[in-house]
Amino acid sequence: MTQLAKKVLKVLIKKKLSISMAESCTGGLLSSSLTNYSGASKAVKLGLVTYSNESKIRLLKIPKKLLQKYGAVSPETCSYMLKGLKKLCKTNLGVSITGIAGPHGATKLKPVGLVYIGIRKKSKVIIQKFIFKSKNRKKIQNLTVNKVFKLVLLLCK
């Protein structure tokens, strides 16, 4: 992951792009991975850990009814996380992550390893669903962050 993080940061700085992040199931791992490197402040503008529904409602302005209807782990919530992030911080790129890293919290419809990643580059928004086949919390978090880095690199080509 460290090489990918370094590569993403170099690309963002080289292309003069800024990034903001709203993380749930990764608990700040994405932000931390990028800010491990000197010069990160040239690209990284905001990293929020909106782990609880309360923080999603208060900070990202996600409607309580939306969370009640779809749940915190849903494409709808992931999309709203991006919208709220955009209002908080005017960056070229926004990333939102919500999922179930386990080992608890799963249901039949929402298994451990289910993750939604949202990426906004200017006005283009992509929400992708992933099911990482692992029961290991740390592994799911790492796989999620790696996937974000790969998606960001693809979008920044």
DSSP E strand stretches across 42-92: 44-49
Structure tokens at 147: 């996937």
The amino acid sitting at 127 is I
pTM above 0.95, yes or no: yes
The HSE-up count of residue 34 (CA atoms within 13 Å, CB side) is: 27
Helix (H, G, I), strand (E, B), or coil: what is residue 146? helix
Closest CA to 48 of 20, 75, 73: 20
Domains identified in the chain, total number: 1
CATH number for the domain harbouring residue 94: 3.90.950.20
pLDDT in tens, the chain (157 residues): 689 999 999 999 999 999 999 999 999 999 999 999 999 999 999 999 999 999 999 999 999 999 999 999 999 999 999 999 999 999 999 999 999 999 999 999 999 999 999 999 988 999 999 999 999 999 999 999 999 999 999 999 8
Structure tokens at 83: 């919208």
The residues facing 117 across adjacent strands are: 97, 128
Per the structure, the complete domain to which residue 53 belongs is given by 2-155
